[in-house]
Amino acid sequence: MADALSKIDALEPARQPDELGRLGPYRVLRKIGTGGMGRVYLAEDARLKRAVALKVMNEKFAATPNSRRRFLEEARAMAAVDQDNVVRIYEVGEHAGTPFMAMELLKGGSLEPINASDQRFSWEQIITLARQVCFGLAAAYQRGIIHRDIKPGNIWIEANTQRAKILDFGLALAEGPMGQLAGRGSVVGTPGYLSPEQARNEPLDDRSDLYSLGVVLFELCTGKLPFQAKTIPQMLVAIISHPAPKVRELNPDVPQPLAELIDRLLAKEARERPASALALEAELVQVAEAIDSESHAALQIVTEPKAVAAKPAKDAKVSGQMSSENEPKKIDPKVFWGVSALSALSLVVIGILVLPLFRDTPKPSAAAPLALPKASRPEKPITPQTLKPLVLQNLTAVRSQVGSGDFAILKFDLVNQAAAYKEDPTRIHAGAKVVAECHLYLQSADGVRRENYALPLRRGAKQLPSPGKSSALEFRFNTASVPLGDYTAVVTLETPKHQKVSELTTPLRITTNFGSGELVGFKTVRTWAGIGADTSVGEKAAKDAGDAKQLTLAGTSDQPPAKQQHLYLRFDLTRWEAPREKLEHAVLMLTLTGDAPKSPFEIRAYAAGEALSSDWQESGENALQASDVPAAGDLGKLRFLGTIEADNSGDVLKNKTDAVRLYGPELDDAIQQAGDAITIILVRSKGASKPLRFYSKESEPEKAPGLALRARP
């Protein structure tokens, strides 16, 4: 057996009785899996005495230079991704012409057998799983890697933590498990989970993986794939041409917000899906909140007992409330007739003993009809008139100008102006699951309104404000699918049947995004150039903070000065050769180190101007000290340059060069009007208690704070 394995996978002969063979420094112990690319073995790294999962490319694909090269390139790229929801790759290499990679050894199992079993998932579990997959996908997308084969078999559930981990990132590029589609060239993936653009053999972006994740969620909710066919060509035609069935058509018990999001993930065109994995994760959070709100509302409704729902078909794997207890059971005929006879005898006894008691009971008067039980009374229709006391107010965009791909945030208030009990919608419609809905539309210059950028905000009676009170609400959506231009953001209040009650508007501009991606045509000036400098300043900052390899941003602006550390960055503008008046755009860039908190944060930027001498030093006698610089209470006197809003959830910004950015007209104007140098002060305004740390000019020069500048043509 060992000889056969050695021949197939280029293993060296075994040296110990418990081995199948050797592959370089790895003791191969036993096979634990087989895939389209090769085999996976339990192995031990003889150097570190660490158990690993060793994936070895099989002989067929290893003999193909293109497959071998892509395997190694993708595996090495993924080895640089350090994120909790992606399987960790320890080493990528090639031994005797056979590529291999050593990965962390996981306990648990893939989602595939769990999905195929009778185990049910709650809606909370499905949403949590989807969010974790989104974090893993986002970490890979930051390095330009698309999975191309998201399916239950490539989603691992850890035994102890129940954490989801994505397997086999990017390996579909090398060949893919669809051997049956070899004649179609580069079409890769698994039938049933392919996106329409994969089936059409078109260029892909990360939204292709979001479609495949939508198929996984569809299957978890309904027990079926959206499309099923006997042959692969028929499957491809269905994926490309046939509309996907709605989730609630197969399982009406799926909460409406979750079903709507899955339906959007299965859109034929990528632009109609969420714009990115992080955008999808944000929408999943909103879905969870919406389901929770509707559940609380349902608890307030007193209804007659419902008939027990029948269990779905055997192949329906829906989560939650259904169990085998609801299945009809076969009854023994002898038991049936025995119970029937006993029931008949009981009726006779009841007739003899009880019926005489009711002989003299008066009949109800025809003039006084019996009142229906309260739960059976028909609900009053929800109309714009019954919702008239509900008013929208104070619609504002957190940023009226948003870079394409960034999140737009619209905040507004929902006010209940009911003056009397009989006018209060929360009383009139106390039994309704959904009383009112808020919808978001974007209206372009030609007057056309488009929706589906954000899920509706649905509110039951208990979620509505009481008379004289208001509720603060917001829409948050990714703008990647919105064409550049000027828009009117429209927020409407509607009935559940989409009858408009009122609306508010505010301007919104979607511009070119300098917040991520390559800055074409820019020249970057770093803090190590010329008279540039960078340092951390605060009461607890070290005296030699300017010589440190990290810049520390601690505390938040609402905390006492003793808990804060600010960053001071000086850029030598003489290093930019173009005339200052020709400056078109400027972008401030920083790089987070590896120990930053995995959460959102917000940083406010100021230009020091005349409040600080331009010849300040990082260290030595003229080093900046907390007593020499503008204090937290004095920042309002400085020139405000803008706010950096960033999210390091899932470590997506970790060690990513120049990923934390600030740009806008305020920064452009300040640089145009500055002298030979400009000092920028950074203060954290929101975030976790753990400090933020950035690379300084004393560490890696290309990750030091930078100022990217571009001149007009």
Residues forming the active site = 149
Rounded-to-integer distance, Cα 540 and Cα 561, Å:
10
Element (H, E) at 250: helix 247-250
Rounded-to-integer distance, Cα 588 and Cα 585, Å:
10
Element (H, E) at 45: strand 38-45
Rounded-to-integer distance, Cα 102 and Cα 43, Å:
9
Rounded-to-integer distance, Cα 396 and Cα 411, Å:
5
Residue 533: which of 505, 567, 571 has the closest Cα? 571
Q: Is 310 buried (19+), middle (13-18) or exposed (0-12) by CB count in 10 A?
A: exposed
Beta strands in 49-131 (DSSP E): 50-57, 89-95, 98-104, 108-110
Element (H, E) at 411: strand 407-416
Helix (H, G, I), strand (E, B) or coil at 35: coil
H helices present in 418-506, as ranges: 425-428
Q: What is the DSSP secondary structure assignment for residue 630, as one 8-state letter?
A: -
The radius of gyration computed from the CA coordinates of the chain, to the nearest angstrom, equals 32
H helices present in 406-448, as ranges: 425-428
Q: Which residues contact 87 (CB under 8 A, 6 or more apart)?
A: 103, 104, 106, 156, 165, 166, 167, 169
Rounded-to-integer distance, Cα 211 and Cα 268, Å:
9
H helices present in 302-424, as ranges: 333-353
DSSP 3-19: HHHHHHHTPBPPSSTT-
End-to-end CA distance of the chain: 69
- The size of the chain, in residues, is 713
Q: Do 659 and 588 form a contact (C-beta atoms < 8 A)? A: no
Rounded-to-integer distance, Cα 147 and Cα 37, Å:
15
Q: Which two tokens stand for residue 556?
A: 């938040």
φ, ψ of residue 468 to 5 degrees: the values are 85, 0
Phi-psi domain of 642 (left: phi exceeds 0; alpha: psi -120 through 50; beta: other): left
**Between the CA of residue 179 and those of 37, 212, 236, 650, what are the distances in Å?**
10, 19, 15, 34
Q: Do 461 and 485 form a contact (C-beta atoms < 8 A)? A: no
Q: In what order do the strands lie in the sheet with 407-416?
A: 390-397, 407-416, 470-478
Residue 168: which of 318, 14, 35 has the closest Cα? 35
Q: Which residues contact 682 (CB under 8 A, 6 or more apart)?
A: 553, 566, 567, 569, 603, 604, 605, 644
Helix (H, G, I), strand (E, B) or coil at 378: coil
Rounded-to-integer distance, Cα 339 and Cα 349, Å:
15
